[in-house]
Structure formats: C-alpha cells, structure tokens
Amino acid sequence: MSDNGHQQDGHENVPSRQRRRFEGISSRTYEHPADRSALVALRKLGGFDTVFKALSGLLPERSLRLLFLSDSVRVSDAQFAHLNTMLRDACHILDLEKVPPMYVAQDPQPNAMCIGLDEPIIVVTTGLVELLDEEEMRAVVGHEVGHALSGHAVYRTILLFLTNLALRVAWIPLGNIAIMTIVTALREWFRKSELSADRAGLLVGQDLKASMRGLMKLAGGNHLHEMNVDAFLEQAEEYEAGGDLRDSVLKILNTLPRTHPFTTVRAAELKKWAESRDYQRIMDGHYPRRAEDKETSVSDSFRQSAASYATDVKNSKDPLMKLVSDIAGGAGDLGGRVRRGFGGFAGGTPKDQTAANDQTTPEDRTSPKDQPPRESTPEDDD
C-alpha cells in the first residue's frame, strides 16, 4: 500500500488515514534487547521449533483452534468487519504477508493473545472490544501482529511445553528449584516480549496518545474522562522511586509470578521508547530488514541485552537498583547504606541494634579513651 491509500500486495483493506508502511521490516527493529537476544539465539538453533511443530499433536493447539472455531466469532468482512480492517492494516504496515486468523471470544475480561505453533491465531475478548475505541484497538491489534511477526507464538508455546514437561518430573530431588528457575526466566522473557509488542502496536497505530489511553483503560476501565495520562505516568515514576529496600524486595516478589509488566510500567516504557532516537530513525525509514536476520550475531545480541540491563540499573531510581549501582561503582559504607535502606525492618531500639552489630573480639577492641565511639555524620546519609 502506498501513502495515497491504493490497494497493493493483495490486502483488501487499507488504513483509514495515512500511515507509514515498513516494508521488509525485521522484528528486531522493535524488540526489547532482552527479548531480541533470546529470539536471535533460538532462531540460530536450526530445526528447534520444527521438532516441536512435529510434536504439536501432544499440545492442546488443535483443540484450541477447534474451540475458537466452534465457540467464538471469526473476524472477516462479514463479521466484526472493522476489526478485520484493522488486522489487515496492521499486517500491511508491518509487511506480514500472511494475515493470521482472528477470533472474538465472549469474555467480559479485557484480554488479547496470539498463540499457535503451525500458524499463529489472534484472539480478543468482547470485554476488550467494548472497552477500546478504534485507535486504541488498532494499537492492540498491532501489538498481537507484532507477536506473530516476532515468532513469539511459536517460542512461547515451545517453552510452555518444556515447562509443563518439567512439572511432570518435579518429584526428582531439587526438581522444584530447577523448575522455578526455568519458570522465572520464562516469565522474565514474557514480560520483555510484551514491551516489544507494545512497540509494534505503536508502529502500527502511529498514535502514542491512543496507545497511552488503551493502557490506562486496561488499568482503570472505561472512565477516560476521570483519568489523565500525565498523572498516570507519575504513578509509574512514584512506583519506581518510592519506598526503601523493603519496597524494592516486595516489587520483585509482586512481579515474579506475572507474565505481563504492570500497566503503568508499560506506559512509561513505551513513552520513553517513543521519545528515543531509535523510534525516530524507524519512522524516517531506517530500520533492520528481515533479509538480514540470518546474519545477526548471537553474541552481539547478548551484549546489547546486557548493556540494556546495565543501563536500566544505572538510571533506575529504585532503592535496590541504586544500591546495586553503588556496589558496582565501589561505593563506601555499604553496610551503613543497607542498614538505612532497611531501617526499622528488624525492629528493636537503636541500642539493641548497636549491640547486635558489635561483633568485634576483645583483642580487636580498644579502650574508650584510645578509640572513642564513632558517631554518624551528615556525610553518612548521602
């Protein structure tokens, strides 16, 4: 499709307004560095996903396809035509040649997913369709098409299969520890893949405000007149920077069981990416092409992922991340920083805590006259 809206490439529908098309775009363009490194490594394992596609009979995929076909509404020109238009638009903009089937399932809970090994299928719930307006929904459809283009549906299904297989051998000694390690790593990748798909949704919708509105509605429902984007983003900043080390630990514990990042965090991450030089270069037509994917270096991708995590830690306002950054930088008075970070966590009076921390031996001690007790100074609180 050209910018004047003429039909090309067999797509029957075109965007309702002019949007830039990214011909031959590689999913590496919008993938989060941690997501990209994992995908690049998996793609280099020739035949890895082919083996599991051959074993797809062991997975509930065929059952799910029949279930959606029999008990949901398939999107087409005759049914949910406006969603069909959005789907074709999204595939056209991201240059995804084969349009995946899309279903609308009756469920008041707003949700969408892209699943499947042989062919990805997209499912959206009635709760989501009723919640979002056209531009917000366009970003969601682009989000799911981004999953399809990245191959998330294939690799997610493979890793879920491996996880389910591991659960069957949980009785093996130390099996639970190994399984939790796999599940934790899997969920971390899931969360990063969601950030990637959010970026794909923005490339399709090309309307940051609509993407922000959609995320706010997922958090607060259909009360847009009662919400404000700037205030919503302030929540994300407060969440990251607020509290002490105890809150940092609680954040980690709250995040571990989730497959999606928190909504305010997703909004803040997407806004940051939309304001980056990388996004502007993509919109100017400078982005990796799919034809170059085979030449991608696994080691380079992992280095970029590590650099991304290091930058996140360095720039984070979270108390724990600041402590990690200080440790990496060789900050002094580490023990004092940790104690202040967990101030009041263990309870007890300052005198009790002083006694508990006094672990020196008699030989190491000097008399009060020779070594007066050290009192805290203002510099200790920096």
Give the residue numbers marked as catalytic. Answer: 144
Locate all alpha helices (DSSP H) within the chain, ordered by sequence: 33-44, 48-54, 61-71, 81-93, 126-131, 134-150, 152-167, 175-205, 208-220, 229-241, 245-255, 263-274, 277-283, 298-315, 319-328, 334-341, 350-357
CA pair distance 26, 39, nearest whole angstrom: 12
For residue 364, give the amino acid letter.
D
- Spatial neighbors of 110 by CB under 8 A, at least 6 apart, are 125, 127, 128, 131, 132, 217, 218
Q: In this structure, what DSSP letter does residue 372 have? A: P
CA distances to 61, 70, 123, 245 from 101, in Å: 14, 14, 9, 46
Q: Count other C-beta atoms under 10 Å from residue 37's C-beta.
A: 24
- Map residue 172 onto helix, strand or coil: coil
**Element containing residue 104 per DSSP (H, E):** strand 102-105
CA pair distance 123, 73, nearest whole angstrom: 10
For residue 51, give the amino acid letter.
V
> Is the Cβ–Cβ distance between 39 and 150 less than 8 Å?
yes
For residue 136, give the amino acid letter.
E
> Is the Cβ–Cβ distance between 227 and 220 less than 8 Å?
yes
